[in-house]
Chain A
Amino acid sequence: MTGAPGEPSNAVTFEDRLLVELKVLVAERRDNPPPIELSSRRRGVRRPVLLAGVAAVVAAAAAAVVLPSVLSGGHGAPSAYAVSRQSGGTVALTVRGLIPNPVGMQSALRAAGAGPVRVVAVGQPGRCHPAAENQPMPAGLLSGTAPNAFIIDPAKLPAGDVLIVVVPTHSGAPERVSISLSRDGTPPCA
């Protein structure tokens, strides 16, 4: 099966690959704890599922809001990034500045169909692996159209792998966006 995040992985069955993705999800939750705690008078086994349902709706709503706002420049201000779905199922990503909310960008990418993507801040604390341990990037998965502008073809993403997008979130950070491939969602060390 699989090791902990950061260790080499050898996911060979659906169950193994699902575990890898679930670990990525847990890592995301650990790095970015859910901000909303809902209370409910109903308790028991139904409550957790209702909360999960609410969270899914909130996430979907957030993605629905984020995507149009980045495309239109959001609240009249120039947007730091743009995500759009292209014909043929590819996804275009352009980063123009600092990204104060990587999770929002991650939601936008996923909502556009980019697949399992994790957006992290440059130098984000937490588990990381040497860049040399990145998975090889398959031909056609990623193409650069300009500095910090990319076309992602999710159909070329190997099953079980996660696309890691490292973005600048604060002034002084390197402004170059880097994209790599990880077996378990662990970002490369800065």
Chain B
Amino acid sequence: MGSAQTTDTVSQIGQDSDALEKFYRAHVEEVLRFIARRVSDPATAADLTSDVFVAAIGSAASYDVGRGTPRAWLIGIARIVVLGEYRRSAHETEKQRRISGRRLLDDADILRLEERLDAAKEARVLYELIDRLPVGERDVIELVGVDGMSVVDAAAALNISPTAARVRLHRARRTLKALRNPLANDEGVEQLLSTTRPKPLEMRA
């Protein structure tokens, strides 16, 4: 996704509608999938999706290709936006929101998003297990094991070195193995523990 995009394209999305459209079309599906794995209602998913792209537009000029691919950069933003949603009250968030994503939803969109959110339910359940890990380890296994990112991209999204990401991933898997007995035969847990790069968890509908 988006691998062909250049630094120029990304840095222009805050000023150039054509660059924005190219970037948006390349990434909107992944951003929606990322958010669907973390929230359970369509309106919030729509708001967060708009927040991610508004934040990306606002910070595009400072995009540094040396710090990761456009995808890793955007997912890093998405991750912080979602974390921010957990911390802020809905009222505060709505007042600060530049574009209200939920206002853009019609009935067909809501149905489509609900199907997507249902399909990602399994991934959300895994967070109950992941939440038992230390924060640093949790972040890495979330991006690699659930979102299917490479370790290098996950490191870029988290603003840490690839080596640090590998160490945290190793520790996270070791801890999960110790925790997994009650969840034996769970396919999602198997994927978290897999050392081969997994596909993102979800989308069986």
Least CB distance from A103 to B in Å reads 13
Given contacts A4-B18, A18-B99, A19-B21, contact A49 B109 (CB under 8 A): no
Please give me the residue from chain A that is nearest to B68 by CB atom. A45
Are the C-beta atoms of A19 and B24 separated by less than 8 Å? Answer: yes
Are the C-beta atoms of B96 and A49 separated by less than 8 Å? Answer: no
- Taking CB atoms and an 8 Å cut-off, the chain A residues in 75-91 that contact chain B are none
- Taking CB atoms and an 8 Å cut-off, the chain A residues in 1-43 that contact chain B are 1-2, 4-5, 13-15, 17-19, 21-23, 25-27, 29-30, 34, 43
Query: B-side binding surface: helix, strand, loop or mixed?
Result: helix
Are the C-beta atoms of A45 and B73 separated by less than 8 Å? Answer: yes
Are the C-beta atoms of B20 and A22 separated by less than 8 Å? Answer: yes
Are the C-beta atoms of B49 and A26 separated by less than 8 Å? Answer: no
In the A-B complex, list the 9 residue pairs whose CB atoms are closest, starting with the nearest. Answer: A48-B59, A45-B76, A14-B109, A52-B55, A52-B58, A17-B104, A44-B159, A44-B67, A23-B17
| A23, B108: Cα distance in complex, Å | 23
Query: B58: which of A2, A5, A55 is its contact (CB, 8 Å)?
Result: A55
What is A's interface to B at a CB cutoff of 8 Å?
Answer: 1-2, 4-5, 13-15, 17-19, 21-23, 25-27, 29-30, 34, 43-49, 51-53, 55-57, 59-60, 111, 115-116, 159-160
Query: A21: which of B84, B99, B108 is its contact (CB, 8 Å)?
Result: B99
Least CB distance from B54 to A in Å reads 7
Please give me the residue from chain B that is nearest to A38 by CB atom. B62
Are the C-beta atoms of A43 and B67 separated by less than 8 Å? Answer: yes
Instruction: Using C-beta atoms within 8 Å of the partner chain, give the interface range for chain B.
Output: 35 or more
| A149, B49: Cα distance in complex, Å | 35
Q: Which chain A residues border B58 with CB–CB below 8 Å?
A: 34, 48, 51-52, 55
Q: Which of B8-16, B136-144, B168-176, B177-185 contacts its partner?
A: B8-16
| A2, B73: Cα distance in complex, Å | 25
- Taking CB atoms and an 8 Å cut-off, the chain B residues in 21-37 that contact chain A are 21, 24-25, 28, 32
Interface contacts beyond A21-B104, A159-B104: sample of 18 additional A-B pairs, CB < 8 Å, sorted by A: A1-B25, A4-B17, A18-B49, A18-B99, A22-B99, A23-B20, A25-B98, A26-B57, A27-B17, A30-B15, A45-B76, A45-B158, A48-B59, A48-B62, A48-B77, A49-B76, A51-B62, A60-B96
| A136, B100: Cα distance in complex, Å | 22
Given contacts A22-B20, A45-B159, contact A60 B95 (CB under 8 A): yes
| A14, B108: Cα distance in complex, Å | 9
Q: Which chain B residues border A29 with CB–CB below 8 Å?
A: 14-15, 57
Query: A51: which of B18, B59, B157 is its contact (CB, 8 Å)?
Result: B59
Given contacts A29-B15, A45-B159, A48-B62, contact A22 B54 (CB under 8 A): yes
